[in-house]
Structure 1
Amino acid sequence: MTINLLAAATNNGLILAFEIIAFVVSIAMIAVGLIQNKKSQTGLSALNGGNEELFSNSKERGIERILSICMLSFGAVLFIATIIICILTNTIL
C-alpha cells in the first residue's frame, strides 16, 4: 500500500514539474511577444485594405531574428510539454 502511495506522489510530482515548465515557458512567450517589433500590422492592413508590405522583400535581422527564433523555440517546448502533461495525466491518473 505504501509503495502505491509513493508511486502516486512521484507521478503527481512529475506532472507538477511539467506544469511548472509549461507555465514558465508561457510567461516567457508573453514577454518575448511584448518585446517584439510591431512594424507589420497585417491584421489592420487587411481591414483597411492596405497592402504596402505585401510584396516587400524584408528579412529579419539582429534582435528581431533572435526574438523570432526564441518565440518559435518556446512554442515548440510549450507544445511538447503540454502533450507530455496530457499523456501522463491520462495514463497515470
Structure 2
Amino acid sequence: MRTISATEASRRFPDMLDAVAAGETVTVTRGGQPIAEISPARHRTGRDLRLALAATSQPDESFETDIAEAVAGLDHAGGDPWAAG
C-alpha cells in the first residue's frame, strides 16, 4: 500500500489512478494524518446480489401493498418526491 500526501496526490493524480487501476490501494495524508484510502472499485456480480438477498428475510404480506402505495404517491409531474410538503 502506497502512502502519499494530498499535495502529491493532486500533482500526480493520473499516476495515482494508474496505481489504483493496477490493484494498489493508496492512502492519502494531510499533515501526516491519513484522510483517505483510494482502492480499486469492486466489480459486483449477480452472485453478490444472490448472496446478499440470501442473508435477508422474506418480505411480509404487506410488502407489495406498501410498494404500490409508495409508487402511487410519487409526483409524476416532475416534482421532487422528497421535498417537504
Q: In which range does the TM-score fall when normalised by the shorter chain?
A: under 0.3
Give the TM-score taking structure 1 as reference length. Answer: 0.20
Structure of larger gyration radius = 2
Give the TM-score taking structure 2 as reference length. Answer: 0.21
Work out which structure has the larger RCO, using CA pairs closer than 8 Å and 6 or more positions apart in sequence: 1
User: Is the helix fraction higher in 1 or 2?
Assistant: 1
